[in-house]
Amino acid sequence: MVQEILQYLFSGVTNGAIYAVIALGFTMLFSTTSLINFAQGEFVMLGAMGLITLWKGFQLPLGVAFLLSTLGVAGVGLLMERLAIRTVRKPHPIVLVIITIGASILLKGIAMIAWGKDAHSAPAFSRHPPLEVAGATLLFQSLWIILIVVAVVLALQAFYRKSLTGKAMQACAINRKAASLIGIPSEKMTLLAFALSAGMGGIGGVLVAPITMSSYDMGMLLGLKGFCAAMLGGLGNSWGAVLGGMLLGILEAMGVGLFSSSLKDAIAFLLLLGILYVRPSGILGEKAIHRF
């Protein structure tokens, strides 16, 4: 029994790390622009399909394919902000959300034309044999995923704390109007937030490609799970996104292993409903303060 639980834990941490990266994309954009981008799942899909095309199709080195896939998806995020978001005359939140949903449908259609309806796969990042830990099996691909996610989180923390651009983005997140008054170009910060958010989705897609079959319609479910993880941890809180992703991944794996595989996709939405009912701001989110 202990061996089985440990195996489920390994699987949950691996999936949770991927959910955490996707949730970071939601969090980074929301904290800077207060916008929830429902095309985030399609960025994940583009990252996965881009890696498969560049690495498996064009035989580029893994590092080069990883970098180009991430930058390509970030470029799609830039185009989305410039062509679909910035051109809106009355940027009401509901209007912007509908635009992101429309962008999601468009990207899915383009991907279907480009890659077809068949599922594609990518090999593991390395061919090392799996590790045996207390009778449970830990794949090297899982170690790669965890190490890359840790590196991404640490790099983001350094970017926000050490760089002037990161501090400017934080200032826009705290008070956009005040940031503009002291000379921070809020439009450029919004553009950068879209690029970084899309890049996080691209990284999530690159990481998920070797462990599951990838297709043009894979983004919706992964995007919803990333959104659930962001809400669970606290939308707008980076550490909350990491915590929410890990909790979702572990609970999902435990539910599948100990109860039924039919619960795999339901657990995320049950957690979302629960956290919205008990603590709408999320585990690490700040409670709303109302002044009368």
Mean pLDDT value of segment 162-191 = 84
**Is 70 exceeded by the pLDDT of residue 289?**
no
Confirm whether 26 is domain-assigned.
yes
Query: What pTM value is reported for the model?
Result: 0.91
- CA 247 to chain CA centroid, nearest Å: 15
Give domain status of residue 31, yes or no.
yes
Q: Which of 60-69, 158-167, 248-257, 282-291 has the highest mean pLDDT?
A: 60-69
The CATH number given to whatever domain includes residue 88 is 1.10.3470
Mean pLDDT over residues 259-283, rounded?
Answer: 80
Domain that holds residue 221: 2-136+153-278
Strands 136-138 and 131-133: antiparallel
Task: Choose the most confident range, by mean pLDDT, from 65-69, 127-131, 140-144, 267-271.
Answer: 65-69
In a domain, 54, yes or no: yes
Please check whether residue 180 lies inside any domain of the structure.
yes
Q: Is residue 269 part of a domain?
A: yes
Q: How many domains does the chain have?
A: 1
In tens, the pLDDT along 27-80 reads 988 888 888 899 999 999 999 999 999 998 899 999 999 999 999 999 999 999
Q: Is residue 263 assigned to a domain?
A: yes
How confident is the model at residue 290, as a pLDDT?
33
Q: What is the 3-state secondary structure (H, E, C) of the chain?
A: CHHHHHHHHHHHHHHHHHHHHHHHHHHHHHHHHCCCCCCHHHHHHHHHHHHHHHHHHCCCCHHHHHHHHHHHHHHHHHHHHHHHHCCCCCCCHHHHHHHHHHHHHHHHHHHHHHHCCCCECCCCCCCCCCEEECCEEECHHHHHHHHHHHHHHHHHHHHHHHCHHHHHHHHHHHCHHHHHHCCCCHHHHHHHHHHHHHHHHHHHHHHHHHHCCECCCCHHHHHHHHHHHHHHHCCCCHHHHHHHHHHHHHHHHHHHHHCCHHHHHHHHHHHHHHHHHHCCCCCCCCCCCCCC
Does residue 148 form part of some domain?
no
pLDDT at 1 exceeding the cut of 70:
no
pLDDT tens digits, one per residue of 98-111: 999 999 999 999 99
> What average pLDDT does the segment 113-137 reach?
85
Structural domain includes residue 283:
no
pLDDT above 50 for 291: no
What integer pLDDT is reported at residue 287 of this predicted model?
A: 52
For residue 177, pLDDT beyond 90: no
